[in-house]
């Protein structure tokens, strides 16, 4: 199977509205102005040999294989670099051209190892194809001259190899790294015959700046850069188009397969979120799906001290249902609940919340968005009327000023980061608001015009100060506000932000950001200029805001989201291309899990459970009488468990023990419950407290849809059958049936049909349509375009008039004190993902094998801490120990860590402080002390012992010896049924 079974048109699509007509080999062809002759020919079905051209990159014109003849022009121009012109008559075949092309190929082949039969790219090599296409039969120069055949391979990258002996110096990899990825890790070193591709300063790939996105590998026409999986397994035989299951960018992929084995994941050219690009996670880190740690047999146990017993699906499901019914009979209907998974498909999430509402008969359902973007739901709902990003990712190419707040796209949303960097290289201005000096502040060929390096917890002060400048310097779009927003709210907001106490100067002390910088940033966002005295020009400046968990995971997370929405409305930056407010969603389907009714107060489509008309619709469709009272949120479930009222939990694909704040509190709550059912692919941290384990399926085994941060609904297609024999939706259905609430879906498509029938914003969504169009964006119904809505709030806001909300700054309760003098903030790295359950089981750990604590050199020196030292971090919640990374990326007074490894215990430190409106935990601000230590914390020692015991109890499920002894050890640990 060929790497790109899609047609490669050689040069990118021109988006010009004007067309030109020319003749190619006598055939009339009409193409958009700016199209290359090569692309025009290929579009007309005329193939032109090429090596250095590919349609994802700008033409380069180096290989001279694509020569053509054009009537009235001298010579033989390269068709890839020659624009098509009206009236041109092009000839792609002639004896002269054939001879020239053969000559080019002879030169390449004379310096190429002729090991085609044993080469990993045999059958998937453009050099081989071109030798065939030009009819090369002989190499006049022989193979004995100077050559590069002895150059050493670079095998340092775990996923791809670089064999310079096979390089034809076409420059495609260098251009891919620059244009597509924006990392600029590769150069052509040496000159003439000596020239070769080299990462960084002639370093191995792993030591260079390379971030292993694979763009160069995809672009390489030979076996020079090649996936090791292909070298090991041979070429794939078929492919399945699907969607990445890591982050909210939602990249489209072709899973290239051999039987049921993945050979490689190739980013899908027609995937609208990624357009053929990917990052190291989606592209390479899929090996976890068949990792030996996968649990594929259902298991049960009476108590968490017992060894697990492997049982049939039927027994596990009946046992779980029996326990839930017993608990409800004993403690009341509301004593059980469930958590839906943002890693699972829309269809799976929909079924879990349906089971809870219809079979449990309460609304105790929540999702991990509680701990990430619930303030987005609240904040954008209040101001705009709906809880979702306003744009497509592609829209950023029309932005003039880009404001990135509390987000680190290079690490967490890498494919979007590549688009954003491209736009900045084209001249857009960038403002970064972040406590850390993230890569965008000063990266390769990208520099922020302003970096507002605020103190953690001061977001609302900064956003209000920006608004102050916009209003008091007359930079707002008064006409937009008058036409599109609620009058009264505008008046009140203008008066509020204009107050002197909301000025950048007044906030300087709390935010730590110099007032002049805030003023310059406000001017830049509103007008495209930083200087004072600039007014709004005639041309509308497009200001786009992208934000992440650095906005939401705060005590004032919802206030900050509303502050962002206020700023966008005040400057007229909502409702067209290049502008908007865009939350960068964390998990692959966090948007979908929210859309599907995962919150305790909302039915699918964000309709409040107390609405009689909506409930009546669901009552009729589901044949039940829904409870009108909102149920418990996740933190309330924990509190209720500790007070003895909440006893049973169905936890679907979510590792709350590792991901939720205050680990010890979560663990105590779980130990207080009587039945915890975990459905997951691994024995995660939460499963160690479970009584029933239902094996889940990885994205490669799933059939359904994911919804990304653009509201784009894409298909997830099954590449291999579920390893456990049941898909997640089938398991949920079986549990519901065992609970006595019948479900009888034949396939996920039927579930989507029900969702569409019951959810107005999904009314036009169908598998048939997604198949035809590639993807659709909600709202998608009779009042939108067929493919749904690319840009939200175009003529009016979803709620009618936009509403400004006052954003009173309230300092966080998490304040530095003498006892806890530093502020801890948390985030992610590129190579690991969230709780790390997947990426830790791949070679991605070669980039990041442990969580470290970043600390500023001054703070480190004060405490006698050196780079790599073990340090204890203590907050009012708990204590853990990590190794220090001394770096000026963090400011003095701030420390930072990731939370990808359970043993790090980052969430042992985080507290119960949370967003006032949504309970989203304040992960980004925890007051801590950091001191050098010599041994793990007591929590870490307990964790290690508990982990070992739990692992051995699973081994018991497989009949391993020692299970009974392990059970005894487990019983010695305190608490827990």
- Residues facing 310 on adjacent strands: 299
Q: Does 454 bind ligand SF4 (CB under 6 A)?
A: no
Neighbours of 99 (CB within 10 A): 10
d(CA 414, CA 887): 23
d(CA 626, CA 735): 19
Q: Which residue among 22, 70, 121, 173 contacts ligand SF4 (CB under 6 A)? A: 173
Assess whether the previous peptide bond of 659 is cis (omega < 30° from 0).
no
Q: Which residue among 22, 37, 42, 53 contacts ligand FES (CB under 6 A)? A: 53
Which residue, 65 or 467, is less far from ligand FES as judged by CB?
65
Q: Does 185 bind ligand SF4 (CB under 6 A)?
A: yes
Tokens of 761: 């914003």
CB of 193 to ligand FES, least distance (A): 19
- Sequence-ordered strand ranges (E) for 665-727: 675-680, 692-695, 704-707, 712-716
Q: Which residue among 168, 594, 731, 855 contacts ligand SF4 (CB under 6 A)? A: 168
CB of 25 to ligand FES, least distance (A): 17
DSSP state of 454: P
| Residue with smallest beta-carbon separation from ligand SF4 | 282
Which residue, 51 or 369, is less far from ligand FES as judged by CB?
51
Point out which span in 57-65, 516-524, 643-651, 752-760 binds ligand FES (CB under 6 A). 57-65
Point out which span in 44-52, 245-253, 914-922, 924-932 binds ligand FES (CB under 6 A). 44-52
DSSP state of 178: I
Using DSSP, state whether 410 is helix, strand or coil.
helix
Query: Is 392:790 a contact under the CB 8 Å cutoff?
Result: yes
Contacts for 452 with CB less than 8 Å, ≥ 6 apart = 431, 432, 433, 434, 462, 511, 513, 517, 518, 521
Contacts 24+ apart (CB under 8 A), 316-320: 316/692, 316/693, 316/694, 317/694, 317/731, 317/734, 317/735, 317/738, 318/738, 319/692, 320/650, 320/675, 320/677, 320/692, 320/694, 320/735, 320/738
d(CA 57, CA 195): 21
Q: Does 246 bind ligand SF4 (CB under 6 A)?
A: yes
Q: Which residue among 172, 607, 711, 852 contacts ligand SF4 (CB under 6 A)? A: 172
Q: Does 63 bind ligand FES (CB under 6 A)?
A: yes
Q: Which does 181 bind (CB under 5 to 8 A by kind): ligand SF4, ligand FES, none?
A: ligand SF4
Which residue, 247 or 497, is less far from ligand SF4 as judged by CB?
247
Calculate Rg over the CA atoms of the chain: 29
Helix (H) or strand (E) holding 263: strand 261-267
Q: Does 134 bind ligand FES (CB under 6 A)?
A: no
Contacts for 509 with CB less than 8 Å, ≥ 6 apart = none
CB of 722 to ligand SF4, least distance (A): 21
- Residues facing 256 on adjacent strands: 239, 264
Query: Is 430:447 a contact under the CB 8 Å cutoff?
Result: yes
d(CA 383, CA 493): 12
Map residues 111-150 to x or -, x wherever contact with ligand SF4 holds by CB under 6 A: ----------------------------------------
Q: Does 593 bind ligand SF4 (CB under 6 A)?
A: no
Using DSSP, state whether 467 is helix, strand or coil.
helix
Which residue, 106 or 209, is less far from ligand FES as judged by CB?
106
Q: Which residue among 4, 21, 34, 64 contacts ligand FES (CB under 6 A)? A: 64
Query: Is 175:54 a contact under the CB 8 Å cutoff?
Result: no
d(CA 130, CA 288): 37
Which residue, 48 or 584, is less far from ligand SF4 as judged by CB?
584
Q: Does 65 bind ligand FES (CB under 6 A)?
A: yes
Point out which span in 58-66, 210-218, 331-339, 798-806 binds ligand FES (CB under 6 A). 58-66
Q: Which residue among 22, 51, 520, 835 contacts ligand FES (CB under 6 A)? A: 51
CB of 971 to ligand SF4, least distance (A): 41
Map residues 403-422 to x or -, x wherever contact with ligand SF4 holds by CB under 6 A: ----------xxx-------
Q: Which residue among 82, 92, 128, 171 contacts ligand SF4 (CB under 6 A)? A: 171
Tokens of 697: 């399926």
Tokens of 34: 């700016």
Q: Does 770 bind ligand SF4 (CB under 6 A)?
A: no
Q: Which residue among 54, 92, 128, 183 contacts ligand SF4 (CB under 6 A)? A: 183
Q: Which does 418 bind (CB under 5 to 8 A by kind): ligand SF4, ligand FES, none?
A: none
CB of 837 to ligand SF4, least distance (A): 14
Map residues 79-118 to x or -, x wherever contact with ligand FES holds by CB under 6 A: -x--------------------------------------
Q: Which residue among 24, 40, 66, 273 contacts ligand FES (CB under 6 A)? A: 66
Q: Does 716 bind ligand SF4 (CB under 6 A)?
A: no
d(CA 102, CA 402): 49
Integer distance in angstroms from the first to the last C-alpha of the chain?
54
Q: Which does 215 bind (CB under 5 to 8 A by kind): ligand FES, ligand SF4, none?
A: ligand SF4
Q: Which residue among 22, 70, 210, 719 contacts ligand SF4 (CB under 6 A)? A: 210
Per CB under 6 A, contacts with ligand SF4 among 277-336 are 278-279, 281-282
d(CA 591, CA 710): 9
Classify each residue of 247-280 as buried b or exposed e, where b means 16 or more C-beta atoms within 10 Å of its C-beta.
bbbbbbbbbbbeeeebbbbbbbbebbbbbbbbbb
Which residue, 41 or 417, is less far from ligand SF4 as judged by CB?
417
Q: Which does 569 bind (CB under 5 to 8 A by kind): ligand SF4, ligand FES, none?
A: none
Tokens of 8: 């490669």
**Contacts with ligand FES, residue ranges (CB under 6 A):** 50-53, 61-66, 78, 80
**Contacts with ligand SF4, residue ranges (CB under 6 A):** 167-173, 176-177, 181, 183, 185-186, 197, 199, 210-216, 219-222, 224-225, 244, 246-247, 249-251, 274, 278-279, 281-282, 413-415
């Amino acid at each position: 199977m060929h790497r790109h079974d899609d047609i490669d048109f050689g040069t990118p699509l021109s988006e010009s509205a004007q067309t030109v007509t020319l003749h190619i080999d006598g055939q009339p062809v009409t193409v958009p102005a700016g199209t290359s002759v090569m692309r025009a020919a290929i579009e007309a079905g005329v193939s032109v040999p090429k090596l250095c051209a590919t349609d994802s990159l700008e033409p380069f014109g180096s290989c001279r294989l694509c020569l053509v003849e054009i009537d009235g022009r001298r010579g033989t121009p390269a068709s890839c670099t020659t624009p098509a012109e009206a009236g041109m008559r092009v000839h792609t075949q002639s004896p002269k051209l054939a001879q020239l092309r053969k000559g080019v190929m002879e030169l390449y082949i004379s310096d190429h190892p002729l090991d085609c039969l044993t080469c990993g790219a045999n059958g998937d090599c453009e050099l081989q194809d071109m030798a065939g296409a030009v009819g090369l039969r002989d190499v006049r120069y022989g193979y004995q001259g100077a050559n590069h055949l002895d150059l050493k391979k670079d095998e340092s990258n775990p996923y791809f190899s670089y064999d310079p002996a096979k390089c034809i110096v076409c420059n495609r990899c260098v251009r891919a790294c620059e244009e597509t990825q924006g990392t600029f890790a590769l150069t052509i070193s040496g000159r003439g015959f000596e020239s070769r591709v080299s990462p960084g300063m002639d370093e191995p790939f792993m030591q260079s700046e390379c971030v292993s996105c694979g763009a160069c590998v995809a672009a390489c026409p030979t076996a020079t850069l090649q996936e090791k999986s292909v070298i090991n397994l041979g070429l794939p035989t078929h492919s399945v188009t699907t969607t990445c299951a890591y982050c909210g960018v939602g990249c489209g992929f072709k899973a290239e397969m051999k039987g049921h084995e993945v050979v490689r994941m190739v980013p899908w050219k027609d995937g609208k979120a990624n357009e053929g690009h990917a990052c190291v996670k989606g592209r390479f880190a899929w090996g976890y799906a068949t990792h030996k740690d996968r649990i594929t047999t259902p298991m049960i146990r009476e108590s968490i001290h017992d060894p697990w017993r492997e049982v049939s699906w039927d027994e596990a499901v009946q046992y779980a249902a029996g326990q839930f019914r017993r608990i409800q009979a004993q403690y009341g209907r509301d004593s059980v609940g469930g958590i839906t998974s943002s890693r699972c498909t829309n269809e799976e999430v929909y079924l879990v919340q349906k089971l809870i509402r219809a079979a449990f008969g309460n609304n105790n359902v929540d999702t991990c968005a509680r701990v990430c973007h619930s303030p987005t739901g609240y904040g954008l709902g209040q101001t705009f009327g709906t809880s979702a990003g306003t744009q497509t990712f592609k829209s950023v190419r029309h932005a003039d000023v880009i404001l990135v707040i509390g987000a680190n796209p290079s690490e967490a949303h890498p494919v979007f980061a590549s688009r954003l960097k491209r736009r900045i290289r084209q001249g857009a201005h960038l403002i970064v608001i972040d406590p850390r000096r993230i890569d965008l502040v000063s990266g390769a060929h990208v520099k922020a015009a302003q970096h507002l390096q605020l103190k953690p917890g001061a977001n609302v002060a900064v956003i209000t100060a920006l608004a102050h400048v916009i209003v008091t310097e007359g930079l707002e779009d008064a006409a937009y506000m008058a036409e599109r927003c609620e009058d009264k709210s505008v008046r009140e907001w203008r008066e509020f932000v204009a107050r002197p106490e909301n000025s950048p100067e007044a906030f300087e002390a709390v935010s730590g950001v110099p007032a002049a910088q805030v003023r310059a940033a406000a001017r830049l966002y509103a007008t495209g200029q930083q200087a004072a005295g600039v007014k709004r020009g005639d041309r509308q400046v497009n200001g786009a805001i992208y934000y992440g968990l650095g906005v939401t995971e705060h005590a004032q997370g919802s206030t900050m989201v509303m502050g962002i929405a206020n700023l966008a409305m005040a400057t007229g930056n909502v409702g067209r291309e290049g502008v908007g407010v865009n939350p960068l969603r964390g998990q692959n389907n966090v948007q979908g899990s929210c859309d599907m009714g995962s919150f305790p107060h909302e039915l699918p489509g964000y309709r409040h459970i107390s609405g009689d008309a909506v409930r009546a619709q669901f009552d009729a469709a589901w044949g039940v009488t829904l409870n009108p009272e909102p149920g418990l949120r996740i933190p309330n479930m924990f509190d209720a468990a500790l007070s003895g009222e909440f006893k049973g939990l169905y936890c679907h694909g979510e590792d709350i023990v590792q991901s939720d704040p205050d680990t010890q509190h979560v663990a105590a709550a779980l130990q207080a419950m009587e039945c915890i059912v975990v459905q997951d692919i691994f024995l995660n941290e939460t499963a160690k407290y479970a009584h029933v384990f239902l094996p889940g399926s990885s994205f490669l085994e799933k059939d359904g849809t994911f919804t990304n941060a653009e509201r784009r609904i894409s298909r997830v297609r099954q590449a291999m059958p579920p390893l456990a024999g049941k898909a997640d939706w089938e398991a949920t259905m079986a549990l519901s049936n065992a609970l006595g609430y019948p479900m009888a879906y034949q396939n996920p498509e039927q579930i989507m049909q029900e969702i569409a029938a019951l959810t107005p914003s999904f009314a036009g969504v169908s598998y048939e349509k997604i198949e035809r169009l590639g993807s659709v964006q909600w709202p998608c119904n009779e009042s939108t375009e067929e493919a749904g809505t690319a840009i939200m709030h175009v003529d009016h806001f979803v709620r009618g008039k936009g509403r400004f909300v006052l954003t009173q700054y309230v300092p966080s309760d998490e304040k530095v004190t003498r006892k806890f003098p530093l502020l801890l903030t948390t985030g992610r790295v590129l190579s690991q993902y969230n709780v790390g359950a997947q990426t830790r089981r791949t070679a991605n750990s070669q980039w990041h094998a442990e969580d470290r604590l970043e600390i500023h050199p001054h703070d480190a020196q004060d405490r006698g801490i050196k780079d790599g030292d073990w340090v204890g971090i203590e907050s009012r919640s708990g204590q853990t120990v990590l190794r220090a990374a001394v770096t000026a990326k963090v400011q003095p007074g701030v420390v930072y860590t990731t939370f990808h490894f359970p043993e790090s215990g980052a969430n042992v430190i985080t507290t119960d402080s949370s967003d006032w409106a949504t309970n989203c935990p304040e992960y980004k601000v925890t007051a801590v002390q950091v001191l050098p230590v010599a041994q793990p914390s007591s929590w870490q020692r307990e964790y290690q012992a508990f982990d070992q015991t739990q692992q051995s109890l699973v081994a018991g499920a497989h009949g391993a010896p020692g299970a009974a002894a392990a059970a005894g050890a487990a019983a010695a640990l305190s608490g827990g049924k």
